[in-house]
Amino acid sequence: MIDLRSDTVTRPTAAMRQAMAAAEVGDDVLGDDPTVAKLEQATAEILGKEAAVYMPSGTMTNQVAVRAHTEPGDEILLDANAHVYYYEAGAPAALSGVMCRLLAGVRGIFTGRDVRDALRPRNLHFPRTKLVCIENTHNRGGGSVWTLEQIADVHAVARDAGLKLHLDGARIWNAAVALGVREQEIARWFDSVSVCFSKGLGAPVGSVLAGTSEFIERARRFRKQFGGGMRQAGIIAAGALYALEHHRERLRTDHENARWFAEQIAGIPGIQLDPTTVQTNIIVFDVTSMPAEAFGRALQEAGVLVLARGASEVRAVTHLDVTRKQIEQAVEIIRKILQQRSVMNAAPDA
């Protein structure tokens, strides 16, 4: 199977498994796991932050950040398609008791003006707005990249209004490669940053939340409260550490593969896609000659997995477990399926 559903499907490499097997461990709830400590330190350094804390998932790092920045009844501002709002099972309401005010970004990217328009006067009637969340790269936006200028624009408004800024940087690694900057040049605009090791970096488990020492101390308490305190977590942290050291640079290859795939399928009748929208490793396109679900099933029978979402939308993602050759095969399979389809549609008795 050529699995293009997500960059979460990667399996640890042999070298990564070796690093995991050899990891020094201890009880991390007691602060005794040297590998977890090393991962937290290394990530904080890469992001240019004082401190960091390791957790089992990106959902948890995001939601602990929301909790640590707010009190129940507060309001947070974020794009209507933000992972924090869209894909985290209602957690802002369930775990932090906050309201989400949704901004209408373009492919997940909103502006300082959008934030300014959402600001509320100080008045007894309103919730208190505390936090703005940005997602870079933006998952539902099709792996779109916030530029440093776009971030600075939102940052200026947030700072003037006394709002905190959180980055859902599950794919900050892809953003850094796409922008040609170091991760800390992105992270420096934010009070807190959450990053994932189990997406494009290919580690089996885990995310880190980074920020000031004081903020991370507060976050550690909420991690415990949310059930995210782990014991000999060095086993999995070693995989993340290995990924951090060895798999960041190669994301460039995933981006090249994604762009090539997009350019190829954009020319196939029955597919609607502007390949210039493909900035990183995510390709979102529309199938116009058959329902997306049927397209997904036909692809699966031919050995390619993608995600059909909605009536016509399909998502494909490149990652370290798919080679250029497999991407080429996937293109040919898509071409064949849609050619067959157009013959069927053209038949007089169809």
Ligand X SMILES: *Cc1c(COP(=O)(O)O)cnc(C)c1O
Residue ranges binding ligand X (CB under 6 A): 57-59, 62, 83, 135, 139, 168, 170, 196, 199, 207
C-alpha to C-alpha distance for 100 and 93, rounded to whole angstroms: 8
Query: Smaller CB distance to ligand X: residue 258 or 334?
Result: 258
E-only strand ranges, the chain = 2-3, 51-55, 75-79, 99-103, 129-135, 164-169, 192-196, 207-211, 271-272, 282-287, 304-305, 307-309, 313-317
For the bound state, the minimum distance from the C-beta of residue 332 to ligand X, rounded and expressed in Å, comes to 29
* Distance between CA atoms of residues 275 and 263, nearest Å: 5
- At 215, the amino acid letter reads F
**CB nearer to ligand X: pick between 13 and 198:** 198
Cis peptide bond N-terminal to 276, omega within 30: no
Would you tell me how many other CB atoms lie within 10 Å of the CB of residue 14? Answer: 7
271-272 and 307-309 strand pairing:
unpaired
Q: Which is nearer to ligand X, 83 or 341 (CB)?
A: 83
Cβ closest to ligand X, residue 175 vs residue 287:
175
Least distance to ligand X, CB of residue 159, Å: 24
User: Distance of CA 161 to CAs 115, 116, 128, Å?
Assistant: 10, 8, 11
Distance CA 152, CA 156 (A): 6
At closest approach, how far in Å is the CB of 203 from ligand X? 11
**Residue placing its CB nearer to ligand X in the complex, 197 or 242:** 197
Give min distance, CB of 120 to ligand X, in A.
Answer: 27
CB of 240 to ligand X, least distance (A): 12
CB 275 → ligand X: shortest distance, Å?
22
For ligand X, which is the closer residue by CB, 108 or 112?
108
Structure token digits, residue 180:
């040609």
**Tokens linked to 146:** 């916030």
- Comparing CB distances to ligand X, the nearer of 20 and 65 is 65
Q: Shortest distance, CB of residue 90 to ligand X, whole angstroms? A: 14
Separation between Cα atoms, residue 12 and residue 292, nearest integer Å:
31
Q: Closest CB to ligand X belongs to which residue? A: 58
List all residues 6 or more positions away from 299 whose beta carbon is below 8 Å from its beta carbon: 305, 306, 333, 334, 337
